[in-house]
Amino acid sequence: MIPNINFTPGPSQLYFTIEDHARQAFKDGIPSLSHRSKAFEKISAEATEGLRELLNIPSGHQFYFTGSANEIWERIIQNLVENQSFHFVNGSFSKRFFEIAAQLNKHPKKIEVENGKGFDEHIQIPPDTELIAITHNETSTGVSMPLETIYGFGKKNPDALLVVDAVSSLPFPDFDYSKLDSVFFSVQKGFGLPAGLGVWIVNDKCITKAEKILTKGISIGSYHTIPVLQAHALKNQTPETPNVLGIYLLAKVVQDMIRRGIQTIRKETEYKAALLYQTLDQHPIISAAIKDKSYQSKTVIVADCGEHTDRITKFLIEKGMQPGDGYGPAKKTQLRFANFPTHSKEQYELLVDSLNAVRS
Amino acid sequence: MIPNINFTPGPSQLYFTIEDHARQAFKDGIPSLSHRSKAFEKISAEATEGLRELLNIPSGHQFYFTGSANEIWERIIQNLVENQSFHFVNGSFSKRFFEIAAQLNKHPKKIEVENGKGFDEHIQIPPDTELIAITHNETSTGVSMPLETIYGFGKKNPDALLVVDAVSSLPFPDFDYSKLDSVFFSVQKGFGLPAGLGVWIVNDKCITKAEKILTKGISIGSYHTIPVLQAHALKNQTPETPNVLGIYLLAKVVQDMIRRGIQTIRKETEYKAALLYQTLDQHPIISAAIKDKSYQSKTVIVADCGEHTDRITKFLIEKGMQPGDGYGPAKKTQLRFANFPTHSKEQYELLVDSLNAVRS
């Protein structure tokens, strides 16, 4: 039996309207809609213009659809880095981004700190850095980088592109997109959609950089280069046959979120995060894995449960809640709790009540 | 209003069981299932082992999931070609495969014939060819390459990998996979699934070739290289969070097709194709676009409708049938009709009756 409430950080619980939207999609023939039709272009525009409105993204930024955020890591390195990117590494996903740059035969550099730690805002970035890769929210450990720290690295390195992996944080963070050159996410986390779609946001500087690398005769890929994606995005199309149903569901969920109000979503996220962190602070046998409050993620909250991990997991499942396992080496000692827009205040209240009922 | 019967060659009409399977998927929590769970591994194995049984694929061939067949074009060139591939080009899609090799800075060669034509079986392939790229069924024009011709090119060039694009033909062709090194398709055509998933089949020679190129220090990609895909496939997993719902629906449709019987599906495809080609042969104002019967596709049947194209389209839509537009330059003079397993004999009988009712 599958617990009713799913706190794993991704694929996470579906946004509560998804099943209805999927039913309507089948009724309207969306799953077999041609991606070269006017109807598809309208859906695609609804998704991207909806995201622009919801997240307050400037009109100059473009949206591209990919198969996954993994793909976007690769496309960013291919399209935006000739030689050298610089990566902030403090967990499995930020490390993977760095490794991908090396696999593509670039020469990435990094500052690496222990899992669970944040970064000093005074870190010096090497002068030849073409692109700064920051993972806003390290899904593996629950560490978030404060927005002002991100903007600071951009300000001090104006010649580098500033790229933010917001896979497990959007739509929560209120980014100032005018200070970011590229941001990306996948839909199966904060947006609560079935997996199989990544969204890549880029500004003009990214388009120019990709064209510049291509002019030098360096391959930047084939069907998913920025110039090809851009040519299709201008028509609200994609180069390949995309996940049409996924784009439709994204459009619908974004409209639902606009109606609910992004401020409401953000306030509720803050409230639920405060509730859980407070519970962890006061708990006799479990505690927040991230001690420094300035780095605590609001959207992926990680609890140190030590030897009690297995028992707490079973207890929560009995109560109808599925916690996320700790990631990698922390699988047996930590639990992760997604705090996404689909997780209601009532679900979080049930979660903290249940955690409070766990005693040694 | 959307016509009930969709003959566009892709995304095409959904397989008739898809909507029920999708409903069950939501009931069972599939769209938010973790891709690292045992439940996912089971679904993934059901899809790949089902395909192996349905298509009679040898145990040594492996299955990898990608975002699209477009992606597979790129991955094939990255992973299997160090310098030179050879492409049979006779339409938009075979041409695109060739172009992708050039975009990835390889040195592809080609034999190109007019759209709508087939290839002489005596064509000489250059001696340094590492990979022969054949489009079994050119979706843009309705030309198919006979299987014996494909095998012949493999036999005469044993040092080259023989790769077949079967995007719009499978599951119909009864390939002898022991004679093919790699075959691929996307799910929104013959399998009748929502778009957003490609399936890539490779043998040991492909794995060895990718490893050999990598050993030379040439980049073969990052998260979707053959070695990385293979390591995950052995666990029935994928490197990235994949289109889990798509893989589930593929597993279910493949099981449905196994129950129906691949021989039945193939015989019905032959019957429907014969019915439509016969109608076109005898029709006063429309005719088969491909005159040479040995090259006529059984799964994408193209009709020359000339000046009557628009009128016939409207007439068919009125009768509840959506024909596929001609591709590219043939948009105003041809119609394409998908003949996939989901298209019933009754639907084809209705189609030919309606075409017979069209007079000048």
Per-residue confidence (pLDDT) for residue A249, from 0 to 100: 98
Q: Is B67 within 8 Å of A69 when comparing Cβ atoms?
A: no
Summarised one tens digit per residue, pLDDT across range B101-156 is 999 999 999 999 999 999 999 999 999 999 999 999 999 999 999 999 999 999 99
Rounded to whole angstroms, how far apart are CA atoms A99 and A106? 10
Rounded to whole angstroms, how far apart are CA atoms B14 and A332? 43
**Sign of the Cα pseudo-torsion (A295, A298, A302, A303, in order):** positive
**Does residue A80 contact residue A161 with C-beta atoms inside 8 Å?**
yes
Q: At what angle do helices B345-357 and B262-282 cross, to 10 degrees?
A: 0
Rounded to whole angstroms, how far apart are CA atoms B189 and B14? 9
In the stretch 260-319 of chain A, residues with CB closer than 8 A to chain B read: none
Count chain A–chain B contacts defined by CB atoms under 8 A: 170
The amino acid at residue A124 is Q
Find chain B residues with C-beta within 8 A of A68's C-beta: 67, 240-242
Q: Is B34 on the interface with A (CB under 8 A)?
A: yes
Q: Is B9 on the interface with A (CB under 8 A)?
A: no
Per-residue confidence (pLDDT) for residue B211, from 0 to 100: 98
The enclosing H or E element of A259 equals helix A244-260
Within 13 Å, how many C-alpha atoms sit on residue A154's CB side? 18
Q: Is B103 within 8 Å of A196 when comparing Cβ atoms?
A: no
Summarised one tens digit per residue, pLDDT across range B295-354 is 999 999 999 999 999 999 999 999 999 999 999 999 999 999 999 999 999 999 999 999
Find chain A residues with C-beta within 8 A of B32's C-beta: 6, 11-14, 188, 194
Query: Tokens 């160090």 belong to which residue?
Result: B82
**Does residue B170 contact residue B186 with C-beta atoms inside 8 Å?**
no
Summarised one tens digit per residue, pLDDT across range A133-185 is 999 999 999 999 999 999 999 999 999 999 999 999 999 999 999 999 999 99
Q: What are phi and psi of A180, to 5 degrees?
A: -120, 140
Q: Is B202 on the interface with A (CB under 8 A)?
A: no
Summarised one tens digit per residue, pLDDT across range B206-256 is 999 999 999 999 999 999 999 999 999 999 999 999 999 999 999 999 999
Q: How confident is the model at residue A11 (pLDDT cuts 50, 70, 90)?
A: confident
Q: Is B243 within 8 Å of A67 when comparing Cβ atoms?
A: yes
Per-residue confidence (pLDDT) for residue A3, from 0 to 100: 65
Rounded to whole angstroms, how far apart are CA atoms B320 and B296? 26
Q: Is B82 on the interface with A (CB under 8 A)?
A: no
* DSSP 8-state class, residue A142: T
**Does residue B352 contact residue B275 with C-beta atoms inside 8 Å?**
yes
Query: Tokens 């309208």 belong to which residue?
Result: A42
Q: Is B219 within 8 Å of A19 when comparing Cβ atoms?
A: no
Per-residue confidence (pLDDT) for residue A10, from 0 to 100: 78
Q: Is B11 within 8 Å of A34 when comparing Cβ atoms?
A: yes
Task: Name the residue facing B33 among A11, A19, A66 (closest C-beta).
Answer: A11
Flag whether pLDDT at A344 surpasses 60. yes
Find chain A residues with C-beta within 8 A of B342's C-beta: none
Q: B35 to chain A: nearest residue by CA?
A: A11
* 3-class DSSP assignment, residue B105: coil
Flag whether pLDDT at B64 surpasses 80. yes
Q: Is B215 on the interface with A (CB under 8 A)?
A: no
Rounded to whole angstroms, how far apart are CA atoms A278 and B357? 74
Rounded to whole angstroms, how far apart are CA atoms B47 and B248? 7
The amino acid at residue B115 is N
Of B2, B16, B5, the closest CA to residue B352 belongs to B5
Q: Mean pLDDT across the stretch B78-97?
A: 97
Per-residue confidence (pLDDT) for residue B359, from 0 to 100: 79
Q: Is B32 within 8 Å of A196 when comparing Cβ atoms?
A: no
Per-residue confidence (pLDDT) for residue A172, from 0 to 100: 98
- The per-residue pLDDT of chain A, averaged, comes to 96
Per-residue confidence (pLDDT) for residue B51, from 0 to 100: 98
Q: A23 to chain B: nearest residue by CA?
A: B23
| Percent of chain A's residues with pLDDT above 90 | 97
Weakest-pLDDT range from A69-78, A88-97, B9-18, B259-268: B9-18
Per-residue confidence (pLDDT) for residue A169, from 0 to 100: 98
Summarised one tens digit per residue, pLDDT across range B179-192 is 999 999 999 999 99
**Does residue A12 contact residue A189 with C-beta atoms inside 8 Å?**
yes
Q: Is A71 within 8 Å of B67 when comparing Cβ atoms?
A: yes
* DSSP 8-state class, residue A16: T
Q: Mean pLDDT across the stretch B167-171?
A: 97
| Percent of chain B's residues with pLDDT above 90 | 97
Cis peptide before A11 (omega within 30 of 0): yes
Q: At what angle do helices B244-260 and B38-55 cross, to 10 degrees?
A: 40
Where do the H-state alpha helices sit in chain B?
18-27, 38-55, 69-80, 92-103, 147-156, 204-215, 226-233, 244-260, 262-282, 309-318, 345-357
Q: Is A326 on the interface with B (CB under 8 A)?
A: no
The enclosing H or E element of A276 equals helix A262-282
Task: Name the residue facing A243 among B105, B195, B239 (closest C-beta).
Answer: B195
Q: At what angle do helices A244-260 and A262-282 cross, to 10 degrees?
A: 80
In the stretch 95-134 of chain A, residues with CB closer than 8 A to chain B read: 99-100, 103-105
Token digits of residue A106: 């670039």
* 3-class DSSP assignment, residue A308: helix
Summarised one tens digit per residue, pLDDT across range A248-278 is 999 999 999 999 999 999 999 999 999 999 9
Per-residue confidence (pLDDT) for residue A273, from 0 to 100: 98
Q: Is A34 on the interface with B (CB under 8 A)?
A: yes
Task: Name the residue facing B104 among A6, A195, A222 (closest C-beta).
Answer: A222
Token digits of residue A111: 């500052």
In the stretch 223-242 of chain B, residues with CB closer than 8 A to chain A read: 223-225, 239-242
Q: Is A196 within 8 Å of B69 when comparing Cβ atoms?
A: no
Of B357, B342, B324, B344, the closest CA to residue B18 belongs to B342
| Order of strands, sheet of A300-304, starting from the edge strand that comes earlier in the sequence | A287-288, A300-304, A334-338, A324-325
Residue A53, CA distances (Å) to A46, A50, A111, A201, A249 in order: 10, 5, 35, 14, 17
Q: What are phi and psi of B278, to 5 degrees?
A: -60, -45
Q: What are phi and psi of A358, to 5 degrees?
A: -80, 125
The enclosing H or E element of A271 equals helix A262-282
DSSP of B109-178? EEEE--TT----TTPPPPTT-SEEEEESEETTTTEE--HHHHHHHHHH-TTSEEEEE-TTTTTSS---GG
Rounded to whole angstroms, how far apart are CA atoms B237 and B241? 9
Summarised one tens digit per residue, pLDDT across range A148-157 is 999 999 999 9
Of B156, B199, B176, B211, the closest CA to residue B69 belongs to B199
Flag whether pLDDT at B1 surpasses 60. no
Per-residue confidence (pLDDT) for residue B232, from 0 to 100: 98
Query: Which residues pair with residue B5 across a beta bridge?
Result: B321
Rounded to whole angstroms, how far apart are CA atoms B278 and A110? 66
**Does residue B298 contact residue B269 with C-beta atoms inside 8 Å?**
yes
Rounded to whole angstroms, how far apart are CA atoms B328 and B93? 11
Token digits of residue A211: 């064209």
Per-residue confidence (pLDDT) for residue A4, from 0 to 100: 82
Task: Name the residue facing A14 among B32, B70, B193 (closest C-beta).
Answer: B32
Q: Is A2 within 8 Å of B221 when comparing Cβ atoms?
A: no
Flag whether pLDDT at B2 surpasses 70. no
Q: Is A195 within 8 Å of B242 when comparing Cβ atoms?
A: yes
Q: How confident is the model at residue B3 (pLDDT cuts 50, 70, 90)?
A: low
Rounded to whole angstroms, how far apart are CA atoms B133 and B183? 10
